[in-house]
Structure 1
Amino acid sequence: MTPLAEIIATRIRATGPISLADYMEICLLHPRYGYYTTRDPFGVQGDFTTAPEIHQMFGELCGLALAQAWMDQGRPTPFTLAEPGPGRGTLMADMLRAIRKAPGMADAAQIALIEASPHLRRIQRDRLGAVTHLDSVEELPAKPLFLIANEFFDALPIRQYQRTEAGWAERMVGLSDDGLCLGLGPVVDLPREGQPGDVVEECPAAPAMVEAIGRRIAAHGGAAIFVDYGGWNGYGDTFQALRNHQPEDPLARPGEADLTAHVDFAPLAAAAIRAGAVASRPIRQGDWLLSLSAGQRAERLAAAKDATAMAALRRLTHPDEMGHLFKAMAIWPKGAPPVPGFDALRLHADHA
């Protein structure tokens, strides 16, 4: 067992099985052995590679989309430029370079990063200089807010429920002779349809965060773009672990592998609308980036001797790569033009 596995096992022996949400939070954020508190997990030398680490064009296009939204809303000054879960600061650095093309925007931006890891906070300060670090989106100031969240919601703790003949029961982490294992708790009241064996996932923290972001945007202006892998209804077991760029058993090495789950965009859209903002339908990442002229940008970079540009374009946009698995969703204030590349959600549209 890893040191963190021993800690978790001791807790289970003392108080009983724990939810997947508790397990994920311990594994990712334990102050001594947590995954994000002990390492830089990004890139070739880490466990996974995110879109900003693949190529600069991803961050540049995100920045230009927010820049257009800023101009469409009358260039509010000052404003908060925020990112939850900013990793190494690569996405923010690329966006800052891009928004300098919008006169006055970079000077009006006050950067706020929502980051729980002290280790990653140090990396972000080294890369970006003077930034404000916050512990939660609730701490964002009451002013226009332009926000990007890339592969942030997938790492938030989830709860899983499995349908049995008696009803829905929560999947829990317990102990067997071989170590940590999954089992079922008592039947709970869950208002979801399903057949025996079906699994549904819920992420309690994500809608609350989007609602807090939406309230600020509805009241003060701004826009937010959320990019992550996922779908629309939360059905299916998507809980997974990644270590050295390879999948592994999520219970095998607590604290030494990244833990994630697919994002359910439906409750995020509902939370934004509940907060008084407009939400887009989620669209494929590849379609969104191509609508922002990613193809032309890659061709220009390739002509300027960037040997990686065309391969990066394929990885970011092709259906067999990240193009269809990853989705993008945006929110903006009522009465404002849509964020570039997005359309307002139609409540009865097909989101499959």
Structure 2
Amino acid sequence: MTALKDIIAQRIRATGPLTIADYMELCLLHPQHGYYATRDPFGREGDFITAPEISQIFGELCGLALMQSWLDQGRPAPFTLAEPGPGRGTLMNDMRRAMRAAPGAIEAAQIALIERSPHLRQVQRDLLGPVLHLEDVTELPDQPLFMVANEFFDALPVRQFQRVENGWAERVVGLGEQGLRIGLAPPVDLPRQGRIGDVVEDCAAGVAIISAIAARIAAQGGAAIIIDYGGWNGVGDTFQAVRNHRSEHPLDNPGEADLTAHVDFAPLAAAALRAGVEVSRPIHQGDWLMSLGAETRARRLAEAGDTGAMAALRRLTHGDEMGHLFKAMAIWPRGAPAVPGFDALRLHANDT
């Protein structure tokens, strides 16, 4: 057993099975043995590659979209330029460079990174210089907020419930003869329909976070772009682990693999609407990037000597690559122009 697997087993013996959410929290954020506390998991030498690590095109276009929203809202100053779960800081670095195209934008920006890992905080400071590091979105400065959250919500803990004969039974992590195993808690009533065997996932943390972000934007102005893999009102077990760029069972190596679940955009959109902002329908990442000029930017990079620019463009935008798996959703203040790429796609309360 790994050190963290021993800790988890001892906790289960002492207090009973863990929810999937509690298990994810321990595996990802345990202060000594958690996945993000002990390593830099990004890039080819890590366990997975995110869009900002594939090409600067991604971060530049995110930055330009936020910059246009900043201009559309009258150049508020000062404002917060924020990213939750910023990895190495690559996305923020590319956004910051692109936003220099608007005079005064970066000078007015206070860069804030929501990051709990001490190791990754240092990696981010090494790249970006001094930044404001926060533990939680509720700590964001009380001023206009412009934010991109890329592959952030998928890493938030989820609870899982499985439809059984007499209700919904929560899926939990317990102990079996071979070590950790998935089991079912006693059934409970949930206000939703389903067939026997269906699994649904609930991300309360995601709803709380999007509510706080949307409330800030409703009150102070700004915009947020959420990019992640997932769907709308999804059903199914999407709890997964990745290590060394390969999938493995989530219980195999606690603390040594990245744990995620697909994002259900429907409850996030509903929470944002309740907070008083405009919300877009999720659209394919590839369609959104192409609408912002991704192909033109890739061709210019190729002409300047970037031999991998066109391959990177395909990986980011093609339907067989990241282009359809990943979705983009935006929120902005009521009465303000839409975030670029989302203008005709507003949601209403009865859509969620």
Q: TM-score normalised to the size of structure 1?
A: 0.98
**Does the 8 Å CA contact 2:240/2:248 hold for their aligned counterparts?**
yes
Q: In structure 1, what is the equivalent of residue 28 of structure 2?
A: 28
Distance, in Å, in 2 between the alignment partners of 1:325 and 1:188 is 33
Q: In structure 2, what is the equivalent of residue 190 of structure 1?
A: 190
Q: In structure 2, what is the equivalent of residue 330 of structure 1?
A: 330
Give identity over the alignment, percent.
Answer: 72
Q: In structure 1, what is the equivalent of residue 309 of structure 2?
A: 309
Superposition deviation, residue 345 in structure 1: 1.4
Distance, in Å, in 2 between the alignment partners of 1:347 and 1:31 is 40
Alignment pair present for 1:128 and 2:128: yes
Partner secondary structure for residue 290 of structure 2: helix
* Gapped regions of structure 1 (runs ≥ 5): none
**Does the 8 Å CA contact 2:273/2:348 hold for their aligned counterparts?**
no
Q: For 1:1-352, what aligned pairs fall within 5 Å after superposition? A: 1-342=1-342, 343-347=345-349
Distance, in Å, in 2 between the alignment partners of 1:124 and 1:301 is 25
**Does the 8 Å CA contact 1:32/1:38 hold for their aligned counterparts?**
yes
Superposition deviation, residue 346 in structure 1: 4.3
Residues 21-55 of structure 1, C-alpha deviations (whole Å, 9 max, x = no match) = 00000000001100000000000000000000000
**Does the 8 Å CA contact 2:270/2:349 hold for their aligned counterparts?**
no
Partner secondary structure for residue 324 of structure 2: coil
AA aligned opposite 1:308: G
Distance, in Å, in 2 between the alignment partners of 1:312 and 1:283 is 20
Superposition deviation, residue 80 in structure 1: 0.3
Question: Aligned-residue CA RMSD in angstroms?
Answer: 0.9
Superposition deviation, residue 302 in structure 1: 0.8
Partner secondary structure for residue 119 of structure 1: helix
Distance, in Å, in 1 between the alignment partners of 2:312 and 2:350 is 35
AA aligned opposite 1:53: E
Superposition deviation, residue 189 in structure 1: 1.9
**Does the 8 Å CA contact 1:240/1:259 hold for their aligned counterparts?**
yes
Superposition deviation, residue 333 in structure 1: 0.2
AA aligned opposite 1:345: L
Superposition deviation, residue 234 in structure 1: 3.0
Superposition deviation, residue 300 in structure 1: 1.1
Partner secondary structure for residue 324 of structure 1: helix
Residues 192-227 of structure 1, C-alpha deviations (whole Å, 9 max, x = no match) = 110000000010100110110011100110000000
Partner secondary structure for residue 184 of structure 2: strand
**Does the 8 Å CA contact 1:70/1:222 hold for their aligned counterparts?**
yes
Partner secondary structure for residue 323 of structure 1: helix
Residues 97-153 of structure 1, C-alpha deviations (whole Å, 9 max, x = no match) = 000001110100000100010000010111111100001000011110000100000
Distance, in Å, in 2 between the alignment partners of 1:139 and 1:348 is 31
Q: TM-score normalised to the size of structure 2?
A: 0.98
Distance, in Å, in 1 between the alignment partners of 2:28 and 2:278 is 32
Distance, in Å, in 2 between the alignment partners of 1:2 and 1:157 is 21
Partner secondary structure for residue 75 of structure 1: coil
Distance, in Å, in 1 between the alignment partners of 2:350 and 2:326 is 22
AA aligned opposite 2:163: R
Distance, in Å, in 2 between the alignment partners of 1:189 and 1:95 is 45
Moved more, 32-41 or 339-348: 339-348
**Does the 8 Å CA contact 2:17/2:173 hold for their aligned counterparts?**
yes
**Does the 8 Å CA contact 2:145/2:221 hold for their aligned counterparts?**
yes
AA aligned opposite 1:100: R
Distance, in Å, in 1 between the alignment partners of 2:239 and 2:127 is 32
Partner secondary structure for residue 160 of structure 1: strand
Q: Deviating runs (4+, > 3 A) in structure 1?
A: 346-349
Superposition deviation, residue 66 in structure 1: 0.2
Superposition deviation, residue 188 in structure 1: 1.4
Superposition deviation, residue 317 in structure 1: 0.3
Distance, in Å, in 1 between the alignment partners of 2:48 and 2:224 is 24
Distance, in Å, in 1 between the alignment partners of 2:337 and 2:116 is 33
* Gapped regions of structure 2 (runs ≥ 5): none
Moved more, 296-305 or 15-24: 296-305
Distance, in Å, in 1 between the alignment partners of 2:6 and 2:110 is 43
